[in-house]
Amino acid sequence: MIWEKSRPPSTKSPEYGRFPANMASEEASLRALESLMTEFFHNCTTNERKREIEELLNNFAQQIGAWRFCLYFLSSTRNDYVLMYSLTVFENLINKMWLGVPSQDKVEIRSCLPKLLLSHHKTLPYFIRNKLCKVIVDIGRQDWPMFYHDFFTNILQLIQSSSTIPLGLIMLKTTSEELACPREDLSVARKEELRKLLLDQVPTVLSLLTGILETVWDKNSVTAATPPPSPTSGDHGDLLSNLLQTPTTAKLLNQPIPILDVESEHISSLALECLAHLFSWIPLSTNITPSLLTTIFHFARFGCDTRIRKMTSSVNGSSQNCIWQQERGRLGVLAMSCINELMSKNCVPMEFEEYLLRMFQQTFYLLQKITKESNAHTVKSRLEELDDSYVEKFTDFLRLFVSVHLRRIECNSQFPVVEFLALLFKYTFHQPTHEGYFSCLDIWTLFLDYLTNKIKSRLANKEAILNRYEDALVLLLTEVLNRIQFRYNQAQLEELDDETLDDDQQTEWQRYLRQSLEVVAKVMELLPTHAFSTLFSVLQENLDVYLGLQQFVITSRTGHRLNITAENDCRRLHCSLRDLSSLLQAVGRLAEYFIGDVFAARFNDAFTVVGRLVKVTLYGSQIKLFNIETAVPSVLKPDLIDVHAQALATLQAYSHWLAQFYNEVHRQNPQQFISFLSSAMEAITPLISNKVQEKLLLSACHLLVSLATTVRPVFLISIPAVQRIFNRITDGSAQRLPNEAQVLVCRALSNILLLPWPNISENEQQWPERSTNHTNLIAALTRNYRHLKSNAIHPPRKGQLEDSKVVIHQTLSVLKDIIENISGEATKSRQICYQSLQESVQVSLALLPAFIHQSDVTDEMLGFFLTLFQGLRVQMGVPFTEQVIQTFLNMFTREQLAESILHEGSSGCRVVEKFLKILQVVVQEPGQAFKPFLPSIISLCMEQVYPIIAERSSPDVKAELFELLFQVLHHNWRYFFKSSVLASVQRGVTEEQMENETQFIAVMQAFGQSFLQPDIHLFRQNLFYLELLNTKQKLYHKKIFRTTMLLQFVNVLLQVLIHKSHDLLQEEIGIAVYNMASVDFDSFYSAFLPEFLSGCDGIDSNQKNVLGRNFKMDRDLPSFTQSVHRLVNDLRYYRLCNNSLPPGTVKL
């Protein structure tokens, strides 16, 4: 026996299930296999026993002639497991061993399997039948047409015979899937041949499919009972006649939808699935005939006709009928999938444009049906009744139409775009789900972008274009604004989740609001005056409610209370406050449309807005609505806080307008500007407190930063409110704000003193006085930190250590932020900043060795020094910078580096990464000041850091190390290659003199080694660095690289492609290989390629010659990379073929 019969798992002996020495009868083998399969899937079988069985089955499958037994099993068993196993044996044979199968066996298999399919296809389970179809198609993939000439003819015959249409369609779809875009187990030439063979069959196939669908429709239309009159069938209005110029088409699409029998429905589904897959790869051409398109649209109606749904439910309410009804809806989904496959093609031949127009007309007929209101249906209820997948497909169609085809169809007189927008409007604002609504808003965004770009390219026609679409844009704006307001849309808005964050770190409510406001902003760009007046009038209504709350505030024993208690009044107030917050956000989103070139033209509108915002923020802070008691504290208190925070955030959005106002207008009307700023500061100051809710506190801090940084008026420091904030922050006894707020306020105060005032000459900037004030500010902020200097001599005890860590974290986070925000400013500002920080920097340098074993503190300190080097290295001066670098190099010994990387986990690695980032800044510095450190830095990298991380699989530290090595090369090229013009002229060559060759080779070898590791991010980064060095410094052309390294790099990159280890980077690797080869194409083709192929194992000499011949000697990038990918594909294919041959095969 092939396998002995096994007993039930509970009584089995280890001897059961082994191969005996002799071969048994097919019948006995089948019974044994059935028993093994039953045992394998039995829930009592142990994993160990399953592994035994699996090994047994795998061994059997590898035997020569096993397929004969499987052929018998397929025709003689009803056990699904045995059937599936047998087909898997055939699949493995065909895909991995076919080349070594004797030709007479192939003939027998090609003959037997189709016969088996034909005789059993109606009784086999569908998944077994489909697997058998795929196995036969796999044979066709290998042998058609040379050895299996009737493969496709057989499929066409199946489709043309009424009894085997479903089987033929399954075979056709499987053929399209497996042959049009085959896997890599074929040569490129074979892939191209298969595609050409299939394309030759496309006209016949499409004709057959058209005939099948038309026959199904016509047959059932004749026998269909006439449905009762429908409220939607009589009146289709002018819009329909506009969309469909031909009355015949309108009449055809108006016919009642037939009721299909189960067989017709099944055949239609299969035919539409075939079409959808064919359309995914065949080019648009006249083979896709008008009659085929019309037929597809007939079937698309199955998805949008609710009338049939009602009829069937009234006739038969059984569950069987519901399943049948779902199948009917599925036909509509499949038809829309076909349409969308065609729509997604951007390349449209001229002769196909008319077909496209017809498709659009027919689809919009369907859109009109979907959005038709009647006595029995609202648009929303109609959409709710449709299959979700159908609505999704329809939305996809609309998106494809607007994004891909609107530009080519808009000017066609036969297509009424404005009427289409009216339908899209109805479709959008009656979507039954939030996701559906979001998708439709995306379509409107695409349309608005299209319109904006069109106007920018045709400024002369701006008015005409806007006039055509103005009504649609106004309607859209009004409705989107209504949709974000509880006043009009409370039920839907309350369903939105405002707590759970998605992948973009926003809640469902925030996403809803953001997408809506993007549409509002885009309309504002096109119709600024109308959009602003619409939005501001709605905002004003809600502002009046908010500003009127003061009259309801009464004083109680516990504080102030809002005397609105009736449930209905509280609900209305809640809605009004939520709407006010949303509308404030909308006004903030529009701030960019009041500055720049349009500042003067739209000044009055912006002036009004800013005036209202200043009033609202001051009002909220003065009467402290955020601390008031309410009847429904869990609802109204968050609403009041949110409105106040949003008002501050909206005012912050207008800081650029305030800056332009200050620069351009304040000379004529300075008092108004001063009033704005003073009132804003009076609104901010009471909120800079630990007692204020964090959301409100941070909004106030951000506004303060913007006023200090963006507007920066000369008088800001003299405003009493600003003086109070200075006193609050520098008072050592005052409680510290939460860290984020403390950092923001300190940034604002520092910027007030450091940033130059606009429109003031250098002599009038009062730098000496401001410098003194800044020094005092930093001294106050670092008071406790500077007291830690004693820790450098006497390390702190355990209790003190934690206190010290808190002080270090709090102080350095403030100082880092101050430096980061001043780093891009004028030299004077950075000089003053560094003077103020000098003592703190010295303290940090003294403390660092004391905390070297506290990786969290070291990380913080090195982060501070990194920021210092990035922002103020010029101000630090060369001597002190050298002192800092030397201190670091002395601290980070090999032992310390190993401890940090290997034993301290991620925090230790972060310390080393920060250290390497500091060195990156140093090596990028121009001039000669820091060049003496280069040998030490390269030595540290290659002799101390690299040996520790080279063999580690973890990506920690590697990215930073290689970035440092790249910066060493990129900014210090002359350290390695001395270029002397005189020497070049004298020698008559341009070859540069090489220095520090050993270090250069070591660095290049490290780059090469990184390409052998699995980390794809490091691979991408390092490949980019090499390419950049070649672009900037001609790396690949340097003699040392060209003669000793180039071919090694090309070899490694090709091997990476062959092993598919970094498949996502195929394109980048191909380009890099081209750039390396292009240094000397002659050498590449004559020497490297033959040598590379001769070293390839797993292929014979004939195959190597074929690979060499197929690599065309092109010198342009597209052709060369195509040849590279062909080489890689065919090499892998040959290896697969050779591995499939039985041992001892003689290859000629």
Of the pLDDT bands very low, low, confident and very high (cuts 50, 70, 90), residue 242 is very low
Sign of the alpha-carbon dihedral angle for 1095, 1100, 1105, 1110: negative
Whole-number pLDDT of residue 197: 94
Consecutive H or E run containing 561: strand 559-562
- Predicted local confidence at residue 408, as pLDDT: 81
* CB of 383 closer than 8 Å to CB of 370: yes
CA 912 to chain centre: 31
Q: Phi and psi dihedrals of 559, rounded to 5?
A: 140, -150
**Mean predicted confidence (pLDDT) in 676-701:** 94
Work out whether the CA dihedral 402, 404, 407, 408 comes out positive or negative. negative
- C-alpha 701/C-alpha 694 separation (Å) is 10
Residue where the block lists tokens 């920097």 = 841
The set of residues, in sequence order, having a beta carbon less than 8 Å from that of 801 and lying 6+ positions away, is 854
Q: Are strands 977-978 and 559-562 parallel, antiparallel or unpaired?
A: unpaired
Task: State yes or no: pLDDT of 596 exceeds 80.
Answer: yes
Best CA proximity match to 835, nearest among 789, 876, 871: 876
Beta bridge partners of 977: 994
Task: Pull the structure tokens for residue 147.
Answer: 């050895």
What pLDDT is stored for residue 375 in this prediction? Answer: 64
**Distance, CA of 66 to CA of 86 (rounded, Å):** 9
Please give the torsion angle defined by the CA atoms of residues 899, 903, 907 and 911, in that order, rounded to the nearest 10 degrees: 20
Q: What is the tens place of the pLDDT at every residue in 436-481? A: 999 999 999 999 999 999 998 887 788 888 999 999 999 999 999 9
* 994: helix, strand or coil: strand
Q: How far apart are CA 1130 and CA 942, in angstroms?
A: 39
**Tens digits of residue pLDDT in 68-99:** 999 999 988 889 999 999 999 999 899 888 88
User: What CA–CA distance (Å, rounded) separates 173 from 165?
Assistant: 12
- CA torsion 987-989-990-996 (nearest 10°) is -60
Residue 542 has what pLDDT? 92
* Confidence band for 629, pLDDT divided at 50, 70 and 90: confident
Residue (of 692, 478, 486, 695) closest to 573 by Cα position: 486
Closest CA relative to residue 745, chosen from 786, 693, 684: 684
In whole angstroms, give the CA distance from residue 413 to residue 419: 12
Q: What is the pLDDT averaged over residues 213-228?
A: 70
**What would the pLDDT profile of 476-497 be if each residue is shown by its tens digit?**
999 999 999 999 999 889 999 8
Distances from the Cα of 184 to the Cα of 189, 273, 578, 1128, 1135, angstroms: 12, 25, 57, 10, 12
- Spell out the alpha helix ranges (H) of 41-79: 47-62, 66-76
pLDDT at 666 over 80: no
Residue 9 — very low, low, confident or very high, per pLDDT cuts 50/70/90?
very low
How far apart (Å, rounded) are the C-alpha atoms in residues 446 and 400? 10
Predicted local confidence at residue 3, as pLDDT = 46
For residues 993 and 977, is the Cβ–Cβ distance under 8 A?
yes
State the burial class of residue 987 (Cβ atoms within 10 Å of its Cβ: 0-12, 13-18, 19+). exposed
Cα(first)–Cα(last) distance of the chain, in Å?
38
pLDDT of residue 665: 73
Least confident residue range of 722-731, 833-842, 852-861, 1133-1142: 1133-1142
Residue 1121 corresponds to which tokens in the numbers above? 């990379």
- 1041-1053 residue pLDDT tens: 998 999 899 999 9
Instruction: Give pLDDT tens digits for 502-544.
Output: 888 899 999 999 999 999 999 999 999 999 999 999 999 999 9
CB neighbour list of residue 974: distance below 8 Å, 6 or more residues apart = none
User: What is the C-alpha radius of gyration for the chain, rounded to an integer number of angstroms?
Assistant: 38
Peptide bond just before 145 cis, omega within 30 deg:
yes
C-alpha 911 chain-centroid distance: 31
Mean pLDDT value across residues 1126-1148: 74
Give the dihedral of Cα atoms 741, 747, 751, 754; nearest 10 deg. Answer: 150
Cα 778 to Cα 1027: distance, rounded to the nearest angstrom: 45
Give the model's pLDDT for residue 393: 92
Do 396 and 340 touch, CB atoms closer than 8 A? yes
Q: What pLDDT, on the 0 to 100 scale, is given for residue 812? A: 95
Instruction: For the beta carbon of residue 979, count every other beta carbon within 10 angstroms.
Output: 12
- The answer to whether residue 501 scores a pLDDT higher than 60 is yes
pLDDT at residue number 288: 85
State residue 278's pLDDT score.
95
The structure tokens 């355990």 sit at 798
Q: What percent of the chain lies above the pLDDT cut of 70?
A: 89
Helix (H, G, I), strand (E, B) or coil at 1034: coil
* Distance between CA atoms of residues 957 and 879, nearest Å: 29
Alpha helices, DSSP H, located in 458-485: 462-483
Average pLDDT over residues 696-713: 96
pLDDT of residue 1143: 57
The residue to which tokens 């030490």 are assigned: 936
What rounded mean pLDDT belongs to the chain? Answer: 86
Residue 491 has which token pair? 């039920």
571's CB contacts (< 8 A; 6+ apart) are none
pLDDT score, position 793: 65
Give the model's confidence band at 406: pLDDT under 50 very low, under 70 low, under 90 confident, else very high.
confident
* pLDDT-derived band at 900, boundaries 50, 70, 90: confident
C-alpha 1027/C-alpha 1011 separation (Å) is 14
Output the pTM of the full model: 0.85
What's the sign of the alpha-carbon dihedral 574, 579, 582, 583?
negative
Question: Residue 230 above 80 pLDDT?
Answer: no
Residue 11 reports pLDDT greater than 80: no
| CA quadruple 870, 872, 873, 879: dihedral sign | negative
**Helix (H) or strand (E) run with residue 520 in it:** helix 508-526
The pLDDT tens digits for 672-687 are: 899 999 999 999 999 9
pLDDT for the residue 377: 67
Are the beta carbons of 641 and 707 closer than 8 angstroms?
Answer: no
CA 61 to chain CA centroid, nearest Å: 43
Q: Measuring CA to CA, how many Å separate 147 from each of 97, 104, 108, 462, 513?
A: 16, 11, 12, 65, 63
β-strand partners of 391: none
Task: Give the model confidence (pLDDT) of 124-143 as tens digits.
Answer: 999 999 999 999 999 999 99
Res 33 pLDDT > 50: yes
Q: Are 679 and 667 in contact (CB under 8 A)?
A: no
Instruction: Give the phi and the psi of residue 556 in degrees, each rounded to 5.
Output: -120, 180
Looking at residue 892, its pLDDT comes to 85
Q: Which residue has the higher pLDDT, 930 or 1025?
A: 1025
CA-CA distance, 256 to 112, in Å (whole number)?
46
What is the Cβ-side half-sphere exposure of residue 467, based on CA atoms within 13 angstroms? Answer: 4
The model's pLDDT over 834-866, given as tens digits with 9 standing for 90+, comes to 999 999 999 999 888 888 888 888 899 999 999
* Integer Cα distance of 256 and 305 in angstroms: 10
CA distance 68 to 304: 51
Structure tokens at 365: 């007929």
Q: Is the pLDDT confidence value at 23 over 60?
A: no
Average pLDDT over residues 259-265: 89
